[in-house]
Structure 1
Amino acid sequence: MNARHWIAGEWTGRPTLDSIDPATGEAIGQYADGGAHEADAAIAAARHVFDRTTWAQDARLRQDVLLAWAAALDHERESLATLLTRENGKTIAQSRGEIAGAISEVRYYAGLARHIAGHVLEPEPGTISTMLREAAGVVAIIVPWNAPAVLLVRSLAPALAAGCTAIVKPAAQTSLVTAAMMRCFELTALPKGAVNLVNERGYAASERLADSHGVDVLSFTGSTATGKKIMVAAADSIKKLSLELGGKSCCVVFGDADIDAIAPRLARAATIISGQQCTAARRVLVHASRAADMREKLASALASLKVGPGIDPATDIGALIDAATRDSVEHTIERACATADRLLLRGAPSGHAFLSPTLVEHADPKAFFCQDEIFGPFVTLEVFENEQEAILKANDTVFGLSASVWTNDGPRAFRMARALRNGTVWINDHNKLFAEAETGGYRQSGLGRLHGYDALADFTELKHICMPAGVADGIAPLR
C-alpha cells in the first residue's frame, strides 16, 4: 500500500515516508513526499485541461466520469473502509459509513452536472441579459485526516460537476486512502490532468497552492488558525476561498427531554471519530431541573463506550490520529480538569494513541476549555435556567458551525434553532449529515457551503452576458 503523486495522468515520485496505523504504531505503507515543484506541475496540468480542452463545457462527459468513479469506489468499498480504519484509527462502522456517504455524494453531483442553471432577463425592451454559472477554473483541495474520504468528495465532486479541474493535497496521515480513491479514476474517461494528487509531509505544496495565481479556488477543511493563514497567502491572487474551519458544537437540552434516552446519543455524538470531528458534540447545556440526571446519565454513557482498535467491530472509540496528537490532547484535558468546577468523568490514555472520554462541569462559558476546540473525547456540561440564558451561553463563542436542540416542544425547538448562530442546527438529533443538505459555518467557522446544491457556488462564477437584440419591426416603444 503505497501512495505516489498523480500528475497529468502519471504516477510519479518514490514513496519513502511511513504511514502509521494509530492503533498499533506500525507502518502499513509509504507515501511520496512532494513540495512546491510537484504543486507547480500539478497546477500546470490542471490549467492545461481547463484552458485548452472542452472539459468545462462538456457536462455529459463530466457526469459520465463521476458516475464511473462512483461505480469504481463502490466496487472497492470494503477495502477502502478497511484501509481508512487502519490509517485513521476510527471504528470500522464509521469507516464503512464514510465510504458509503462519499459514494452517495459523488452520485448526487453526477446528477447535478447537467443542470447548472442560469437565467435570462429582458431588463429593457430588446436587451437580453443572460446569467450563466461558469466553472471558476483550477481548484486546489486541501483534505484533512479526520474524514478524508467524504471531505475529499464534498469538494472534488461539485468542483468536477461544475467543470473545474483540480489538485488534491491530502493530509500526510491519510495519504494511502486518498491515493486509493484517486486510482479509481483510472477506470473512468477523466482527461489526464483534470485531477491531480500531490502528497507531502510538510507545507511547501500547500503554501504554493494557496499563493499561486494559477489556482482560482482553494477549498480547505481544517483548523481556524490554518484557515486564517490561507486567507493571508491567498490575498495577492484574490482567489475564491471555500473554508470549513473549527467548531464547538453545543447541545441545548430542555427540561422536558428524556435524559435516559438522550444521554447515550450525546455520548456517541461527542466521541465520533474519537472526538475528532468538527461537528462533534463538545458542550452540553442542560436545564437546571435536569442537571442532576444529566450528570449521572452522560457520565455513565461515556464511561460505557468501549475504547480499542477500530478494526474490532465491538469498538466504540478508536485511536486518535497519532500518539503525538493524543499526548497533546491529553495535556490540554489535564489543564481543563485542574480548573473546572466539577470533574464528572476522567479519561485516561492507553496503548499507542487511545484516549477514553472526559466530562467536566463548569459555570463560566468563557473558560478556555469551553471556548477552544479540543479535538478529542472531551465534553463540558453547563447549566441554564431559561431560554434566554441558554441562547446567551450557546452563542458565547467565536465559532458557529453546528448545534442541536433537544425538546418535545416544537415551537421552542424552532425559535431556539433560529436564535442559535450556527450554520446547522439539529432538532432532537446531532451529526446528521447528507449530501443533499449544505453545511458550513458562521463567524470563524468558515466561508462558503459544501454539500447540497449551493456547494456549486463555491466552484463557479456568475457571468452576465448582455446583448442588445432589439425589438421586431412594427413594435412601437411606449416611451
Structure 2
Amino acid sequence: MNASPAELLPNHLGGQRHVGTGAGTTLFDPVLGDALVRVDATGLDLSGGFERVRTLGGSALRALSYRERAGLLKAVAQVLQARRDAYFALSTANSGTVKNDSAVDIDGAIYTIGVYAKLGEALGDARVLADGEFVALAKGGAFGSRHVQVPTRGLALCINAFNFPAWGLWEKAAPALLSGVPVVVKPATATAWLTQRMVQDVIDAGVLPAGALNVVCGSSAGLLDALQPFDGLSFTGSADTAALLRRHPAVAERSVRVNIEADSVNSALLMPGATPGSAAFDLLVKEVAREMTQKSGQKCTAIRRVLVPEALYGAAAEAIGARLARVTVGNPRNESVRMGALVSRAQFDAVQAGIAQLQRVAETLHDGRGAALVDADPAVAACVAPVLLGSRDPDAHALLHTTEVFGPVATLMPYRDLDHARALVARGEGSLACSLYGEDDDAAADALTATALDLAAVHGRVHVVTPAVAALHTGHGNVMPQSLHGGPGRAGGGEELGGLRALNFHHRRAAVQAAPTVLSRLTPPTPSAA
C-alpha cells in the first residue's frame, strides 16, 4: 500500500505542503481492522493558506480560456488513469469495497472529469460566458443591456462525504476548475486516504497551476472561518451538519454562496398494471436489490422506499428477498464476495441502530444478517448484510418516510392508486432521485410521463425505466455528469452537475449596460452555461 500505519498524510494548501503538528486521526481497514495512515490539520494557517489559493491558484486559472482549462482537466484525467490500480487498492483497504463498487467511485470520477473536459473544449477561447441576448433599453436599440457570467474571484471549499472519496472530490472539483476557480477539498476523515492520494498525485504531476487544487485532511475546525464573501461552499453530508453550516457567519453574514446535498429518502415506484414476472416487475426487483447492495447501500441516491400496488406486496417481498439471499457479504479481497463493508465500525453501529428503529414500525421481510461473513471476523469487520423491511400501512408511520438508514436497507410499502403513491413519495419532503418502472405501450407511457412530471417537483432527478431501456439505462442511483444532481427540501435544495449548469455556481452573473457596439465585444460566440 506504500504507507505504514505510522505515516501522517500531508495537506496541500496554496502551493505548499503542510504536515499537521498534532497526533492525528488514524484511518482503519473496515474489514480487517488494521491501522492504515493518519490525517491531521493541526497548525495550518487556514486564512493565509486560503488567501494564497485565491491569489495564486485563482489568478492562474482565470488567465486561461475555457478551452485551456479543459486541457488541464484532460491532463488530470490522464494522471489518475495511469494510477488507477493503486486507487483500487486504496479503496479496498480504506473503504472495504468490492472491485465493482470501487469502479463506481474511481472510474466514475475519471469519467466525470472527461465529460467536463469535453464541455470546456466546446466553450472555446472565451473567458466569460454569455447569459442571454442583447435587450434594448432605449428607443431604436441605441442603448441596452446584456448579461454575462464571470468566474468568481474566490475559491471553492468542497466538504465531502465518506462514501465517495474519489467521485465526491472530482464531481465538485472538475466544474470549479473549468470555471477558473481554485478548489480546497476537505474529505470525510474516515476515507480520506484515496482523496488525499489523488490530489497529491495531481499536484506532484504538475499538470495544474500551483494553488489550483488543495486538500485539508482531519478536523474541519476553522475552515468556514477562513471563507470570504466571494468564496463558495459545497457540502455533502447530513441535514444536521448542513443546518449548522447555513448558520455560520461565513454564510449568514458574509454571504458565501452555499450548495448543500443532504439526507434523502429516495423512492422506487412500480406503476399500476404490473404483475409478478412481468418486465416492469422484474426490472424493479433487480434495481432495488442492486441499489441496496451497491457500495453496501452507502449512496445518497440509493433506493430507501419501494412502492408497489397493494396486490403485489407479497410477491415483491418474496422476489426482492430471493435476490438479496444470493448476495455474499464479507472481505472484498475474496472473489466470491459481492458486497463488502460499511466504512467503519461507527457506521456499522449507526446502521444497526437505524434498522432497530425502523423495525419498531415495520415488519422484517428479509434479514441476511444471520448468514456467516466470508473471510471476515464479525467482531471486527463493519459488514452488514441486506435487510428488507415492509409496512402494510405506510400512511401511519412518518418514520418510514423521514429516516434514512445509510446502509443496505430499504422498506417495501403498498399503495392503493397513483394518487396515493405520489402522496407517499412526497412525504419524503424532497429527495435526490425517484425511479418509475412501467411498460412501453402508449397508455403506460402517458401515465409514466404524467407521474414523472408530477414527481419532478419534489426530486432533483426522475429515472424512468421501461423494457425498451432495460439494458441501457444508467441506474437509479448512478449520478451522471450530464444530468442534475441535487434535490429540494430535506435533500438540501442544492444543484450539482447537469452538464454546463454546474458552472453557474462558480460564476457571478452581472448585467452590463452600454451601446450595442460595446456589448457585442463582451463575449465571443460560445454556448451559454445556462
Do the structures match in fold with TM over 0.5? yes
Counterpart check, 1:325 vs 2:350 = no
User: Aligned partner of 1:393: which letter?
Assistant: L
Counterpart check, 1:360 vs 2:389 = yes
Shift of 1:205: 3.8
2:527 is matched with none
Counterpart check, 1:155 vs 2:184 = no
Once residues 435 and 17 of structure 2 are traced to their aligned partners in structure 1, the CA distance between those partners, rounded to angstroms, is 44
Counterpart check, 1:414 vs 2:449 = yes
2:285 is matched with 263
Once residues 167 and 147 of structure 2 are traced to their aligned partners in structure 1, the CA distance between those partners, rounded to angstroms, is 31
Alpha carbons of 1:92 and 1:385: their partners in 2 closer, same or farther (altered >3 Å)?
A: same
SS in 2 for 1:439: strand
SS in 1 for 2:459: coil
Shift of 1:37: 3.6
Shift of 1:433: 2.5
Please list every run of 5 or more consecutive structure 2 residues that lacks an aligned counterpart in the other structure: 371-377, 466-474, 519-530
Identical residues among aligned pairs (%): 25
Deviations 1:3-39 (A, max 9, x none): 21012223221584321111111112222x1158443
| 2:37 maps to which of 15, 29, 37 | 29
1:10 is matched with 16
Does structure 2 retain, via aligned residues, the 8 Å contact 1:77–1:96?
no
1:475 is matched with none
| 1:94 maps to which of 101, 106, 114 | 101
Deviations 1:266-296 (A, max 9, x none): 1111222111111101110111122221011
1:117 is matched with 129
Q: CA RMSD in A?
A: 2.2
Further displaced range: 11-20 or 352-361: 11-20
The 5 Å alignment of 1:103-142 reads: 103-114=110-121, 115=123, 117-118=129-130, 119-123=132-136, 124=138, 125-136=141-152, 137-142=154-159
Once residues 5 and 208 of structure 1 are traced to their aligned partners in structure 2, the CA distance between those partners, rounded to angstroms, is 18
Runs of 4+ aligned structure 1 residues displaced above 6 Å come to none
Once residues 113 and 260 of structure 1 are traced to their aligned partners in structure 2, the CA distance between those partners, rounded to angstroms, is 40
SS in 2 for 1:465: strand
Shift of 1:303: 2.2
Deviations 1:177-212 (A, max 9, x none): 111111232324422112221111x33044435xx3
1:456 is matched with 503
| 2:481 maps to which of 421, 432, 435 | 435
| 2:300 maps to which of 265, 278, 284 | 278
Shift of 1:313: 3.8
Alpha carbons of 1:214 and 1:192: their partners in 2 closer, same or farther (altered >3 Å)?
A: farther
Does structure 2 retain, via aligned residues, the 8 Å contact 1:138–1:214?
no
Counterpart check, 1:394 vs 2:434 = no
Once residues 314 and 55 of structure 1 are traced to their aligned partners in structure 2, the CA distance between those partners, rounded to angstroms, is 47
1:467 is matched with 514
SS in 2 for 1:289: helix
| 1:348 maps to which of 340, 358, 369 | 369
| 2:318 maps to which of 296, 303, 306 | 296
Further displaced range: 221-230 or 255-264: 255-264
Alpha carbons of 1:469 and 1:327: their partners in 2 closer, same or farther (altered >3 Å)?
A: closer
Please list every run of 5 or more consecutive structure 1 residues that lacks an aligned counterpart in the other structure: 472-479
1:191 is matched with 209
Does structure 2 retain, via aligned residues, the 8 Å contact 1:43–1:215?
no
Shift of 1:264: 2.9
Structure 1 length-normalised TM: 0.91
Structure 2 length-normalised TM: 0.83
The 5 Å alignment of 1:205-224 reads: 205-208=222-225, 212-213=227-228, 216-224=231-239
Does structure 1 retain, via aligned residues, the 8 Å contact 2:144–2:513?
yes
| 2:27 maps to which of 7, 19, 26 | 19
How many residues get paired? Answer: 465
Deviations 1:99-140 (A, max 9, x none): 112111112222333526304414132224332211122110
Alpha carbons of 1:364 and 1:469: their partners in 2 closer, same or farther (altered >3 Å)?
A: closer
Alpha carbons of 1:167 and 1:36: their partners in 2 closer, same or farther (altered >3 Å)?
A: farther
Deviations 1:69-100 (A, max 9, x none): 11000101121122122211222111123211
2:405 is matched with 374
Further displaced range: 285-294 or 259-268: 259-268
